[in-house]
Amino acid sequence: MLKKFALLVVSLSIVALILAAVACGSEPKGSISEPSPTPSPTSSPTIEAIPQRANLIASIPLESILADKGISDLYDKVDKGTGVPATFDELLQMFRDKTGLDFKAFKEATLFGDIIDLSKVSSKNGVAPSEGYLGVIVSGTFKKDELIAAVEKGTGKKLKSEAYKGYDIYSAIEENSGAESPNLAFLDEGVSVIGSVDAVKDVIDVKNGEKGLSGDLLEAYEGVDGSLVKLALNIPSEWLSQLPDKQDISGISTLELKYFKEMKMATAALDEAGDNFNLEVRAGFSDGVSASGAQGTIDGFISGLQDLIKFPGGSGDIPEMTALLNLLDSSRLSVNDNWLTLHLGLTTEQVGELMPLLQGMFSGG
């Protein structure tokens, strides 16, 4: 589950970059060659504990999301299929029933990982939660005994503990596969980390004085302003080197992918104000020529896709495709120095209309 969530976050950022890149009317906050000024140190206990190895950071303010009526209303309206709670309140109740813990006990979650390591993980029987390098640092009002009991009730397995540098790491053995469940450790009162064993141990190492995350990735992350979700990642050159220089998309355009090989970093921010959602995605390139070339490629792709949807006999009369067309119409692109920025604005109603399309993309339908 942890790996699937991480890959979903990464996939969403990469898809957004390929479809378009954002300008919200404000200038990007720095460039690869000229980074933005070093921000003031963050007081968040979750950020301070992230290890140096991480090349992906994503945070979600759970407390704010749970208190947001717009988000709960959106969940209630979306068609979720069978086997999924119909309302947001029913979803929270299901969590309480399965774990004995109120989800409102969680205030903030910060995900971190090594996306290069995660991309190499594969298994015929699915991915064990302890594989790869991935962790989530969670803060809240929960007590240690409450969280352990919740994990044991939710998994149906008794956790064992192992001492590591002054901390206890809890885990359980999966009987069928022999793989370990996610590892759990308590860092401070109301702060825990769950994830692969290396990720959990690295967080404990940071708590014991080893240097935590610093440099360009942390600066980029702290420069992101997202009230719902904020994300920053270093883009692996191993991934980009496999891209062809060009890719013909029948009926749409020819993508000049050579420019995207020069991407170094990406950030994403999702905000919600009233009935409006705003997504901003930024990509840092090695030079301004590549950033401008990528902008032209994305502009051409969006224009070709719009023409295809609008073409007589096309899919423009399908509600979710109409919503996609409105989304593309609202997209704004800009380049500043080495940064390419994409801004997308949607209403709550548009998000609901797009959900069938997104569900099909991520379910393979």
Q: What is the pLDDT of residues 126-152, one digit of tens each?
A: 444 446 899 999 999 999 999 999 888
Q: What is the pLDDT of residue 42?
A: 41
Q: What is the pLDDT of residue 105?
A: 92
Q: What is the pLDDT of residue 308?
A: 80
pTM over 0.85: no
Average pLDDT, the chain: 78
List, for residues 177-206, the tens digit of each pLDDT value: 545 567 999 999 999 999 999 999 999 999
Q: Which residue has better confidence, 218 or 360?
A: 218
List, for residues 16-44, the tens digit of each pLDDT value: 333 322 222 233 333 344 434 333 344 46
List, for residues 221-233, the tens digit of each pLDDT value: 999 988 888 999 9
List, for residues 226-274, the tens digit of each pLDDT value: 888 899 999 988 888 888 999 888 777 888 999 999 999 999 999 887 7
- Asked if residue 6 has pLDDT above 80, the reply is no
Q: What is the pLDDT of residue 365?
A: 44
Q: What is the pLDDT of residue 324?
A: 79
- Asked if residue 318 has pLDDT above 80, the reply is no
Q: What is the pLDDT of residue 16?
A: 38
List, for residues 82-132, the tens digit of each pLDDT value: 778 889 999 999 989 988 989 899 999 999 999 876 655 444 444 444 468
Among 11-15, 171-175, 293-297, the range of highest mean pLDDT = 293-297
Q: What is the pLDDT of residue 120?
A: 55
Q: Which residue has better confidence, 327 or 355?
A: 327
Q: What is the pLDDT of residue 234?
A: 94
- Asked if residue 352 has pLDDT above 90, the reply is no
- Asked if residue 339 has pLDDT above 90, the reply is yes
Which tokens is 180 given?
A: 């370990």
Q: Which residue has better confidence, 154 or 40?
A: 154
Q: What is the pLDDT of residue 304?
A: 86
pLDDT band at 168 (very low <50, low <70, confident <90, very high): very high
